Amino acid sequence: MARNKKTILSHPSNNFTRGYIKSVSRNLGILNNYALEDHIWVYELHSQIQKRIKNRCILKGGASTQLHLPLEFQRLTADIDCATNLSRRELEKVMYSIKDDFNKVGIHCSYKEYIPKDVRLHGRTLPIMTFIFYMPFVFSSWKRKRYPGLKLDFLFLDIEKLHTTKLSKLETLGLELSYSPIVIDEYSTISDKFLTLSPNLSGLQREQLDKIYKNIYDLYCLINTYSDLKSFKIVSERFKESLDAEINMKNAKPIDIDTLLDDILRTTYDVATLSLMNNCSELPIQILRFQEVSMTKENRQLLNTDMWSIMALYIYIWVFSLKDYISKKNYSKLEGINVVISEFDYYKSLGKKERRSFKRSLKSRINSKAPFLNLEGTGHPLRLIYLDYILTNMKPF
C-alpha cells in the first residue's frame, strides 16, 4: 500500500496484503484466503467507526463473540453487528467519513445502504440500518461475486441499558488488534446467543442448519470459557433482560422464560440426535461449507458428527440446569456435566474388552429409553454417555 495509508488505517498496512493473508491462511490451515481477508477488514472497519463515535457504537454478534474467546476457539467472522444511539443521518455521515478518508489516500472503497426486499415492500419492522461496504479486496471468489462487500448492521437501541466492556491487548485470527473495542460483555453475549436457538423467537427454521450450528459452536466455546458458577448465575440474571429486549425490539408476541428454555432444549436435542434419527453419519453440506469458510484446520478436524452432537448435548445440560436454577435457585443439576466427564474418564481407564462391553451396555440403556434412535451411526463413548445421562436424568420432550 502507498505512503500515507498507514496513517489512516488502525492496523499495519501489511495485514491487508496478499502475501500476509496467504501466509497466515497457510499457517492456520484456513481454506479460503478471502474469508480471512473479510475477517481482518471487519475489525479494521469497526475500529474506524469507534474512532469516530467512541462509545456510541457497541460491537455485538459474531465479531464480538470471538473477542471473548481464547484464540484456539475462535472462528472467522464476515460481518459487523453493532448497537448504537446515533440517528440514521449521523450514521450516514460516519460511513461517508470513512469512505472519504480512505479514498483520499488511495484505499478505494464505497458503500450503500442495503434495504431488503421485504422492507421495501412492507416497511421497516426492526429499528435497524444496514450498509454494504465495498473494500479493495485482493482476493476474489464465487462468494465475492455474489456478495461483493461487508455487511454492517446497526441496531438503534438505548445503549445505556446494555452491559458493555472495553477490551484491550486482544488477538484474533490473523490480527493483533491495535485498538480497544467496546463490546457487549461476556455474560450478555451468552444470554443473547441463547435466544438464537429458540425458533419461536429468532425465526430460524430447522433447515437453516448453518446458522443454528454456528450458534451452537459459539455457545459451546463461550460456556466452556466462562464455566465457573459465578458466570452461570450472572447469565441466569441476564436471561430475562435479553428476552425482554428482544421482544421489545421485534415487537414480538411475549414468551415466558420457561417456554423459551424448552424451545432451546428442543433445538439442542434435535441437533444432537439428527444423525441418529436420519441414520446418516455424514454432516449436512451446509455445515461442511460453514466449517470450510470459518474454521482453522485444527478445529475442522475436530468437528465431526459426533463432536457436534457432544457440543449440543453439553449445551442441553447447561440449559436444563439454567432452567432449574431460574425457577428453584438450585444449580445442582449443573453437576451433570462433571458426572459425564468422570464417567468418560472411567471409560478411558478400561482395557479394550471392557470398553466394548461398556459401550454395549450404554447402547442397550439408550435403546430402552429412546428406541427410535439408530445407534449404529455412532460408537463415540462420550456422545453415548451424554445421551444416556440426559435420557435418564433430564428426559427430553
Is the separation of the CB atoms in 363 and 387 below 8 Å? no
pLDDT tens string 349-364? 999 999 999 999 999 9
Q: Report the C-alpha gap between 38 and 42 in whole angstroms.
A: 6
Q: Report the C-alpha gap between 209 and 287 in whole angstroms.
A: 7
pLDDT in tens, the chain (397 residues): 444 777 899 999 999 999 999 999 999 999 999 999 999 999 999 999 999 999 999 999 999 999 999 999 999 999 999 999 999 999 999 999 999 999 999 999 999 999 877 776 666 778 999 999 999 999 987 777 677 899 999 999 999 999 999 999 999 999 999 999 999 999 999 999 999 999 877 666 655 667 789 999 999 999 999 999 999 999 999 999 999 999 998 888 889 999 999 999 999 999 999 889 877 778 888 899 999 999 999 999 999 999 999 999 999 999 999 999 999 999 999 999 999 999 999 999 999 999 999 999 999 999 999 999 999 888 999 999 999 999 999 987 7
Cell 458458577 belongs to: 229
128 DSSP β-pair partners: 155
What DSSP character marks residue 74? Answer: -
Q: Report the C-alpha gap between 193 and 211 in whole angstroms.
A: 11
pLDDT tens string 174-221? 999 999 999 999 999 999 999 999 987 766 665 566 778 999 999 999
pLDDT tens string 275-310? 898 777 788 888 999 999 999 999 999 999 999 999
Cell 459425564 belongs to: 340
Look at residue 169 in the predicted model and tell me its pLDDT. Answer: 93
What DSSP character marks residue 334? Answer: G
Q: Report the C-alpha gap between 35 and 294 in whole angstroms.
A: 7
The continuous run of DSSP H or E covering 93 comes out as: helix 88-104
Angle subtended by helix axes 209-225 and 186-195, to nearest 10: 150
Amino acid at position 222, single letter? L
Q: How many CB atoms lie within 10 A of CB 257?
A: 16
